[in-house]
Amino acid sequence: MKAAIQRVSQAHVVVNNKIIGKISDGLLIFLGIADSDSLATIEKLADKIINFRVFNDNFNKMNLSLLDIGGSILIISQFTLYADCNKGHRPNFMNAANPIHAKKIYNEFVNYMVQKKINVQSGQFGAQMDVHLVNSGPATFILNID
């Protein structure tokens, strides 16, 4: 499982000209899923994200987690995180999970985060989405969990 995480002051996702998820201070998570991902992978990545100290404290140092600031999460499925771009001029997506497995894992990831008593918003799996954000910092992090 891979995640591109952006610290945001605001973010929202639009499907068919309608906002379906919106947050203020928190994390925008672009989530890529592989066929090998499971509940154990979900728990490991989700726990790392909610405890990831990427928010500034009173001394302007990244010492606070999402839980510390009471932040929100917007989760967007992003199979292109598994693109292999090493050959040719067109990405190869063979490393991304098949859509049935990916949707199951994506939904379980969202549900796991909801159980952690965090304000969780999400995109729509498989839909054409427009994601709008204000990256605070800017701060972007890539996490890989095998």
Active site residue 115: no
Residue from 52, 55, 79, 109 carrying the catalytic annotation: 79
80 counts as catalytic: yes
* Catalytic entry in 6, 30, 41, 78: 78
3-state secondary structure 21-42: EEECCEEEEEEECCCCCCHHHH
> Which one, of 115, 137, 122, 134, lies nearest residue 73 by Cα?
122
- CA distances 3 to 17, 48, 57, 61, 142, Å, are 26, 11, 24, 23, 6
Catalytic (active site) residue 124: no
Q: Which residues are catalytic?
A: 78-80
